[in-house]
């Protein structure tokens, strides 16, 4: 029996899972149109490889990877490309993103694809490429490209593979039903991943103990393998990556670090199933299991849904009653977000469409002032101080937010759930994260622009110097020719002394005034100070979670940045004394 560790905080909301577990996974009638977003969860957009009017087959790649974090996109059914334009998608921002619209032809005809039944003999990089080209991304919510996560460089190794089957969010039962009905395929998917990772020492499946049927199915199919099924106590949010790692291994993931930094990789169990389909069956990620539930629907059930199917199409299938609906949520009640329109597509990360009634989730009352009760700190699974983060977020105090580890917040919503003042704390944290990341990006862009400006100035100065040299040479030649014409004597030979004098003359004419030298050095100093701050921040990050080699490298970079600042300050001081 594996020893389990208990995470701090957490809450026990009603799970409301039984209503969507009474029927097997259903199939959705083919929709007339499919809307396929080209962006990933990290705002990198895939490059469309089809044009309006093209006929496509089911499983055909219609957008290629463009950028490290973008994800390939495939046609979910056969038909014709009728539009390539920005459309509103299911996203907290409510913004539009480039999408490909396919009008289905009703044939649902597959493209020919290549299968890899003997994947055990394929090199890990090739396996990762197959997974990447199949458009596999994390299906538990984050949407991180799976191939990027599995592509381990030579300096790192994976000791433990953790499969996340906790599904701790209330109402959602997609993973539970997937395990019950397709456990054998999931185990094959784990074996594919083992080969891609060169056989890690341990494979653990973490699953909450409120899923006895799923646990039994996994245990039966794991007999005779190295895979260990580990039931964990039911508590929200035990399915958070850091939380599950700690529960299963007792290891704490450092601030803003990745599991690979401590020799681990975590994958959602639905992602594992998608990897099995991609490699062994030759099927890219074009569908997923999604829970349709809530009292505003007459039918609560899990379906295998084609990516790109509209939410409206699914709700009609389940007898959606708009008058009974209080809120329409993508995801669960804790971490999900409200939809303002049903005319948005299901994406690779759409775990659940939740149509709650007014009885389930009454209209929220206006937030009241914080009473400093401290409940938010008690339930925080990351051991943060939500109350302090709230004040700093309201004041837009980015330095203190980062000092109080804002980016360790997993946005689980436990603090908002217990807040007696009904303050939407997670919304404040999410907004502040966006502001900080934007500020970082702008600072980086400004630093790069400054470097480009300085490089251009040096380049132009060099060009001017070369032009001046040519002018002096032509002038000297012209003077010699004039002397020959007047005196009738042969032209003078340009001596080394003449060349030196010409060079000294150029230096005198090109000599920068003290004011210009001062301005240039001040710009150089600002750029050097920015690079010093960036080097200090990077060193602080690797001191917490990096390797010894990385720490040594960043220390050397920091020392070089300090020397640059010191030298520039000394040169600037000399000019001021003149």
Upstream peptide bond of 237 is cis (omega within 30 degrees of 0): yes
Closest CA to 141 of 117, 120, 162, 167: 167
Exposed, middle or buried by CB within 10 Å (0-12, 13-18, 19+), for 363?
Answer: exposed
pLDDT range class, residue 504, cuts 50, 70, 90: low
pLDDT value of position 446: 82
What is the bridge-based pairing of β-strands 202-208 and 160-164?
A: parallel
Which has more confidence, 523 or 494?
A: 523
- Cβ neighbors of 292 (< 8 A, separation 6 or more) are 20, 299, 300, 301, 302, 303, 314, 315, 317, 318, 352, 353, 355
What's the pLDDT band for 568 if we cut at 50, 70, 90?
A: confident
- Asked if the model's pLDDT at residue 493 lies above 60, the reply is no
- Rounded to whole angstroms, the Cα distance separating 62 from 43 reads 18
The structure's pTM equals: 0.78
How many CB atoms lie under 10 A from the CB of residue 190?
23
* CA-only gyration radius of the chain, Å: 31
pLDDT digits (tens, 9 = 90+) for 260-304: 999 999 999 999 999 999 999 999 999 999 999 999 999 999 999
Cβ-based burial of 357 (10 A; exposed 0-12, middle 13-18, buried ≥19) = middle
DSSP code for 237 = T
CB atoms closer than 10 angstroms to residue 161: 26
Phi, psi values for residue 184, rounded to 5°: -60, -40
Q: How confident is the model at residue 140 (pLDDT cuts 50, 70, 90)?
A: confident
Distance of CA 117 to the CA centre of its chain: 31
pLDDT given for residue 513 in this prediction: 65
**What is the structure's pLDDT at 309?**
97
Cβ atoms of 15 and 334 closer than 8 Å: no
At residue 345, the 3 state secondary structure works out as: strand
pLDDT value at position 393?
94
User: Which segment of 281-285, 477-481, 560-564 scores lowest on mean pLDDT?
Assistant: 477-481
Q: pLDDT tens-digit profile of 311-331? A: 999 999 999 999 999 999 999
CA–CA separation, 36 vs 307, rounded Å? Answer: 7
Torsion of CA 48, 53, 56, 62, to 10 degrees: 0
Contact 232, 166 (CB under 8 A): yes
Task: Give, in order, the Cα–Cα distances in Å from 263 to each of 10, 123, 144, 289.
Answer: 26, 20, 18, 30
- CA 37 – CA 48 distance, rounded (Å): 10
The structure tokens listed for 84 are 């390539």
Query: 3-class SS at 38?
Result: coil
Residue (of 170, 215, 207, 167) closest to 4 by Cα position: 207
Strands 202-208 and 227-232: parallel
- Residue 294's Cβ-count burial label (10 Å; 0-12, 13-18, 19+) is buried
Contact 419, 81 (CB under 8 A): no
Q: How confident is the model at residue 495 (pLDDT cuts 50, 70, 90)?
A: low
Query: Which string of b and e fits 492-511 if b means at least 16 CB within 10 Å?
Result: eeeeeeeeeebeeebeeeee
Q: Which two tokens stand for residue 351?
A: 């775990």
Tracing tokens 């199409």 back to the chain, one arrives at 313
pLDDT digits (tens, 9 = 90+) for 149-199: 999 876 788 999 999 999 999 999 999 999 999 999 999 999 999 999 989
Q: What average pLDDT does the chain have?
A: 89
């Amino acid at each position: 029996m594996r020893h389990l560790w208990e995470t701090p905080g957490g809450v026990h909301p009603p799970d409301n899972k039984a209503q969507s577990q009474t029927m097997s996974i259903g199939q959705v009638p083919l929709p007339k149109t499919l809307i396929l977003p080209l962006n990933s969860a990290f705002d990198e957009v895939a490059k469309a490889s089809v044009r309006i009017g093209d006929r496509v087959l089911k499983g055909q790649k219609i957008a290629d990877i463009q950028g490290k974090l973008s994800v390939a996109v495939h046609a979910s059914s056969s038909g014709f490309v009728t539009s390539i334009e920005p459309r509103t998608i299911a996203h907290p921002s409510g913004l539009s993103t480039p999408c490909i619209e396919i009008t289905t032809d009703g044939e649902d005809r597959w493209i020919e694809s290549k299968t890899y039944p003997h994947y055990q003999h394929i090199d890990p990089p090739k396996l990762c490429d197959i997974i990447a080209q199949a458009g596999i991304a994390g299906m538990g919510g984050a949407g991180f490209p799976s191939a990027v996560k599995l592509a381990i460089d030579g300096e790192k190794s994976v000791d433990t593979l953790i499969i996340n089957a906790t599904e701790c969010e209330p109402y959602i039962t997609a993973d539970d039903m997937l395990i019950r009905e397709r456990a054998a395929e999931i185990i094959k998917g784990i074996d594919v991943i083992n080969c891609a990772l060169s056989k890690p020492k341990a494979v653990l499946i973490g699953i909450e103990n409120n899923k006895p049927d799923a646990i039994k199915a996994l245990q039966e199919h794991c007999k005779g393998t190295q895979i260990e099924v580990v039931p964990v106590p039911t508590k929200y949010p035990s399915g958070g990556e850091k939380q599950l790692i700690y529960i299963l291994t007792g290891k704490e993931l450092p601030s803003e670090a990745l599991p690979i930094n401590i020799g681990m990789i975590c994958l959602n169990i639905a992602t594992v199933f998608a990897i099995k389909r991609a490699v062994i069956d030759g099927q890219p990620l074009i569908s997923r299991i999604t829970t349709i539930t809530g009292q505003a629907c007459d039918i609560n059930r899990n379906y295998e849904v084609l990516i790109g199917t509209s939410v409206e199409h699914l709700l009609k299938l389940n007898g959606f009653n708009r008058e009974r609906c209080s809120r329409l949520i993508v995801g669960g009640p804790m971490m999900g977000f409200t939809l303002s329109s049903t005319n948005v597509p299901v994406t690779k990360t759409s775990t659940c469409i939740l149509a709650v009634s007014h009885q389930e989730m009454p209209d929220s009352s206006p937030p009241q002032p914080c009473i400093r009760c401290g409940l938010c700190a008690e339930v925080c699974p990351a051991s943060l101080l939500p109350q302090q983060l709230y004040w700093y977020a309201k004041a837009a105090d980015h330095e203190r937010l980062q000092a109080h580890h804002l980016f360790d917040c997993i946005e689980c919503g436990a603090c908002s759930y217990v807040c007696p003042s009904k303050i939407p704390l997670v919304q404040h944290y999410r907004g502040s994260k966006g502001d900080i990341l934007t500020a970082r990006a702008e600072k980086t862009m400004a630093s790069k622009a400054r470097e480009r400006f300085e490089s251009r100035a040096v380049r132009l100065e060099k060009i001017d110097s070369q032009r001046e040299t040519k002018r002096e040479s032509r002038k000297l030649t012209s003077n010699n020719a004039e002397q020959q014409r007047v005196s009738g004597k042969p032209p003078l030979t340009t001596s080394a002394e003449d060349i030196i004098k010409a060079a000294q003359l150029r230096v005198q004419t090109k000599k920068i005034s003290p004011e210009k030298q001062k301005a240039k050095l001040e710009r150089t100093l600002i750029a050097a100070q920015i690079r010093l701050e960036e080097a200090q921040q990077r060193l602080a990050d690797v001191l917490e979670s990096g390797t010894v080699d990385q720490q040594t490298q960043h220390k050397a970079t920091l020392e070089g940045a300090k020397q640059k600042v010191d030298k520039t300050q000394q040169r600037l001081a000399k000019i001021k004394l003149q």
